[in-house]
Structure 1
Amino acid sequence: MFKNRLLLFRQISDQLKNMTKGSKPLPDISSIKLNHKLVDIGCNLGHPSFKHDLEEVLQRANQAGVEKIMITGPNVSGSKEICELSRSKPGLFYFTAGVHPHEAKEFDNNTLSEISKLLKEPHCVASGECGLDYNRMFSTKDEQLICFEEQLKLACEFKKPLFLHEREAHEDMVRLLTKYQEQLPPAVIHCFTGTAEEAKQYISMGLYIGLTGFLAKDKSDNGVQHALKNRIIPLNRLMIETDAPYMFCNIGNKKLKQIKEKMSEEAKALHKYSSFERNEPCAMAAIVEVIAHFMGESVEKVAEETSRNSKLVFGLE
């Protein structure tokens, strides 16, 4: 996995160099400053691709109207690293502490002890990223189920909101959440990629839904686009995130042509600094406009209500 990450980092570095050397120079965004006050609830700023230009990335995020960023913890060592990173910018950075289902095979009793320490940090606002991923299966089902249930118990003990990962594991996710429903703290299904019916069930359980740029490539008849258009995901249960450097919002998708034409020039200009190779928090400006279009709401209302949800659930000041 380390080799894969190193290769990805090199590819991203090459892409960033090409962005400045290519035939299509990036737009001048120096005069842009949106006032959305957005909260990016899921951003992997601990990723190696952000190490060389983090300040520039944060400047663009600020121009896109991003007011707060939650940095997600993938495992014990990664959670420790972002704990330190989050201390560097109080009021802007917060972090989550947990073990991603991909890393479940490494889970042991010492893991619980280390995560417990991190959950006590004042700028740790959620337990996770934890959950189940039956799509890629980097850890077995049994390993994932044990790892997830132990973290559920921990979140209930610490009364920390849950930052949940679920991919093609809806039934087991519902079963385990229901088992602890009486003690369960507030929770969000981060980077939701499921069906409208699955979203409806999660919402009926009191959960929030986190949406990323995935919604731009949703090709299903009953996925996130359908759920937004038909208000199956209501504004009072919605949060927004980039999952950067992943989940690029491809506004160049032919099916989004009408949305792109109506999108603000500021959001489009900022969005050019994100790509399939490396998504950035500044993509929040485009994501909020795409969501507003599907819901038939103003961008201002979507920005305000989703940010309010995030601040309320995670106690962001």
Structure 2
Amino acid sequence: MELTDIGANLAHESFADDLDDVLARAEAAGVRRLVVTGSDLDSSEAAVDLAGRYPGQCFATAGLHPHHARDWSPAHEQLMRDSARAQRLVAIGETGLDFFRDIAPRDAQERVFAAQLAVACDHGLPVFLHQRDAHARFLPILREHLPHLTRAVVHCFTDSAQALDAYLDAGCYIGVTGWICDERRGRDLYDNVARIPDDRLMIETDCPYLMPRTIRPKPKTRRNEPANLPWVAETVAAARDQSVAQVAALTHANAGRFFAIEGSDAQGQ
């Protein structure tokens, strides 16, 4: 079984002391490729660095999470554009809107979201998107840029069936995390994941967050990591009435196509 984790926050400080062990456990669990998320200037720089240090296993995105919209700067945009020109990125993001926490002003979030979509359009890169409680504003801004975007994935999808259908109608891919493994708050996602066509589904850990609650035995740590991705695949498979092997194969292939990293498995390096 081969898997791709399309959302791994490996630049997070919790991975600073044992990253090599984390990557080895991922490989042992069949997680061949990891897309390392850039969500601010520091993590974007770190993601690019990790992709350079672990070619074929780690791939980088660069972006600014809506929580950090106040921090948008020429330096961040320049990093994104320079890295894109140097072919060191597989996507722009994490970018989008978050009206659940409202950490940054909504007008700033919208402005910075549109700016990053423009960078992706200029450089022919797909986008890695965040949306929480902001669907009504998020979709119109995204639609303005869709004609010029190569591909888009709504990562860590947790919204309604209606929002899911709207993103699918717009041609988006959908990323599913361990949220689906949470019987308390993930039931709607469990019930709706079968609506996603085989060729638009991808899976992710969003580590170190969203530890799958289905892991047995129960982990001693609260830090999620890429090696736990098979637990997400297992729950997605059960919800879609597919085998784990089917879900692994189709999501791995979709990720390879979406991020243009087919044939980049670490085993082949």
Please say whether Structure 1 and Structure 2 have the same fold, judged by a TM-score greater than 0.5. Answer: yes
After TM superposition, give the deviation of residue 217 of structure 1 in Å: 2.0
Q: 2:228 matched to which residue of 1?
A: 283
Alignment of 1:54-133 (within 5 A): 54-133=19-98
After TM superposition, give the deviation of residue 184 of structure 1 in Å: 1.9
**Local SS of the residue matching 1:70:** strand
Q: What are the Cα deviations for residues 92-151 of structure 1, in whole angstroms up to 9, with x where unaligned?
A: 010101111111001133432222112223231000011001111111101100100000
Q: 1:223 matched to which residue of 2?
A: 188
**Local SS of the residue matching 2:195:** coil
1:51 aligns with 2:16: yes
Alignment of 1:233-312 (within 5 A): 233-251=196-214, 268=216, 272=218, 275=221, 277-312=222-257
1:194 aligns with 2:159: yes
Q: 2:267 matched to which residue of 1?
A: none
Say which one has the larger Rg. Answer: 1
After TM superposition, give the deviation of residue 220 of structure 1 in Å: 6.1
Q: 1:255 matched to which residue of 2?
A: none
- The equivalent position to 1:151 in structure 2, one of 113, 116, 130, is 116
CA contact (8 A) 2:7 2:204 kept: yes
Q: What are the Cα deviations for residues 259-303 of structure 1, in whole angstroms up to 9, with x where unaligned?
A: xxxxxxxxx46xx5574x200101111110111011110111110
CA contact (8 A) 2:125 2:149 kept: no
After TM superposition, give the deviation of residue 240 of structure 1 in Å: 0.4
Count, aligned residues: 262
Structure 2 residues without counterparts, runs of 5 or longer: 265-269
Q: Distance in 1 between matches of 2:145 and 2:18?
A: 42
Structure 1 length-normalised TM: 0.79
Q: 1:173 matched to which residue of 2?
A: 138
Q: What are the Cα deviations for residues 201-241 of structure 1, in whole angstroms up to 9, with x where unaligned?
A: 1011000000000112264697211112xx21122110000
Shift of the 223–121 alpha-carbon distance from structure 1 to 2, 3 Å rule, reads farther
Q: Distance in 1 between matches of 2:19 and 2:78?
A: 31
Q: Distance in 1 between matches of 2:186 and 2:23?
A: 36
Structure 2 length-normalised TM: 0.92
Q: Distance in 2 between matches of 1:161 and 1:181?
A: 10
Structure 1 residues without counterparts, runs of 5 or longer: 1-35, 253-267
